[in-house]
């Protein structure tokens, strides 16, 4: 008798747990259906708020250490998006390159509101918007080091050390095209500024960095590092990132970004931060002006 009672109690507990995890509702014809969990897009529309994760990466995004005030290219872009859509922007969580997608898994954030580059491995944990601009990546070395000028093949050598930060897109380039070189990484929450400073002090021979931050570093630290002569290593796109499976959110972002590109807002925004081409390449229009 006791065993039957225990089995019955266990069955009731399992059913109750299932009702908590998978709520049901009864239709007009008496049928029972399982309610789908609320999606990110639906939550944004219900709360009228986009919860952003972000990465400190001047001049794209900065945060005043005393006041906490956010500023930069992507702050202006995302705040404009919020105004146009009637949504509040909540700058909820600072992340680094190695943890930028973690908030999607737990539902803490809705959008990574900073520049991010898509890659095959990143599509396993995140979806991406259309390209906003393209970012020429170059090698940077100490100011007195001419070894790799117009000779990138010399970098792919066991005697050469390349520096990056955990989770940075440059790591995939190094592993794919410069696999013989020694890879050294800095911890999460470090930026290209930290990487360039380490190169300047001789901690590594070279690093792949975006030209906007690198040129700002060179301007503020003359004689420390320089750009290796040669064409860009890659031209990755800058996108926005959001959780997988959010088709409505993707459509909303892509339509808005296309509008900002076609009306010249993106170009004007970049220029307002002294980011002209070729520092960041604009998206080419999908048409040709009639002659």
Q: What CATH number is associated with residue 211?
A: 3.40.190.10
Q: Closest Cα partner for 118 from 60, 170, 169?
A: 169
Tell me, yes or no, whether 78 and 120 share the same domain. yes
Q: Is residue 155 part of a domain?
A: yes
Rounding to the nearest 10 degrees, give the CA dihedral for residues 170, 116, 269, 246.
160
171-209 pLDDT, tens digit each: 999 999 999 999 999 998 888 999 999 999 999 999 999
* Block residue for tokens 């999606």: 39
C-alpha dist (Å) from residue 106 to 48, 140, 255? 20, 37, 27
79-101 pLDDT, tens digit per residue, is 999 999 999 999 999 999 999 99
The answer on 153 and 122 residing in a single domain is: no
Domain match, 69 and 202 both: no
Band (212; pLDDT cuts 50, 70, 90):
very high
pLDDT the model gives residue 1: 47
Percent of the chain with pLDDT over 90: 83
Domain that holds residue 265: 40-134+236-276
Is 287 inside a domain boundary? no
Q: Domain for residue 34, yes or no?
A: no
* pLDDT band, very low/low/confident/very high, at 23 (cuts 50, 70, 90): low
Q: How far is CA 66 from CA 63, 70, 73, 215, in A?
A: 9, 11, 20, 26
Strand partners, 14: none
Report the mean per-residue pLDDT for the chain. 91
Are 264 and 245 part of one and the same domain?
A: yes
Residue 17 has pLDDT above 60, yes or no: no
C-beta atoms surrounding 149 within 10 Å = 15
**Residue with the two structure tokens 């990755």:** 236
Region 58-81: what's the mean pLDDT?
96
Domains: count for the chain: 2
Each residue of 35-46: b (16+ CB within 10 Å) or e?
A: eeeeebbebbbe
Q: Are 279 and 232 in contact (CB under 8 A)?
A: no
Which residues of 35-135 form beta strands (DSSP E)? 49-54, 62-63, 70-71, 88-94, 111-116, 127-128, 133-134
- The verdict on 61 and 171 lying in the same domain is no
Question: Model confidence over 40-51: pLDDT tens digits?
Answer: 999 999 999 999
HEC string for 199-226: HHCCCCCEEEEEHHHHHHHHHHCCCCEE
pLDDT for the residue 77: 99
Kindly tell me if the per-residue pLDDT of 12 is higher than 50.
no
Question: 96 with 152, same domain?
Answer: no
Q: Are residues 124 and 267 in the same domain?
A: yes
Establish if 163 belongs to a structural domain. yes
Is residue 130 over pLDDT 80? yes
pLDDT tens by residue, 257-287: 999 999 999 999 999 999 999 999 999 988 8
Task: Tell me if 53 is assigned to some domain.
Answer: yes
Residues 119 and 246 in one domain: yes
3-state secondary structure of 167: coil
Least trusted range by pLDDT, from 10-19, 40-49, 107-116, 161-170? 10-19
State which of 227, 244, 268 marks the end of a domain: 227
pTM: 0.84
């Amino acid at each position: 008798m006791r065993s039957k009672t225990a089995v019955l109690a266990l069955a009731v507990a399992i059913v109750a747990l299932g009702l908590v995890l998978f709520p049901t509702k009864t239709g007009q014809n008496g049928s029972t259906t399982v309610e789908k969990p609320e999606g990110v897009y639906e939550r944004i529309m219900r709360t009228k708020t986009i919860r952003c994760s972000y990465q400190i990466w001047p001049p794209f995004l900065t945060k005043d250490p005393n006041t906490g005030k956010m500023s930069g290219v992507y702050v202006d872009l995302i705040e404009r998006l919020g105004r146009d859509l009637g949504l509040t922007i909540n700058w909820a969580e600072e992340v680094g390159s190695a943890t930028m997608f973690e908030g999607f898994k737990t539902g803490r954030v809705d959008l990574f509101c900073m520049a991010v580059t898509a890659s095959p491995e990143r599509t396993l944990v995140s979806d991406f918007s259309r390209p906003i601009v393209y970012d020429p990546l170059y090698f940077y070395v100490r100011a007195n080091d001419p070894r790799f000028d117009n000779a990138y093949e010399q970098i792919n050598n066991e005697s050469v050390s390349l520096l990056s930060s955990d989770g940075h897109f440059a790591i995939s380039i190094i592993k794919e095209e410069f696999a013989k070189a020694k890879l050294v990484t800095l911890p999460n929450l470090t930026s290209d500024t930290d990487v360039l400073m380490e190169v300047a002090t001789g901690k590594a021979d070279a690093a792949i960095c975006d030209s906007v931050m690198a040129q700002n570093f060179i301007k503020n630290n003359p004689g420390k590092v320089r750009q290796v002569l040669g064409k860009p290593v890659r031209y990755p796109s800058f996108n926005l990132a959001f959780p997988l499976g959010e088709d409505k959110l993707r459509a909303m972002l892509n339509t808005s970004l296309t509008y900002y590109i076609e009306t010249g807002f993106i170009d004007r925004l970049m220029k307002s931060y002294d980011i002209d081409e070729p520092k960041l390449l604009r998206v080419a229009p999908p048409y040709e002006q009639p002659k």
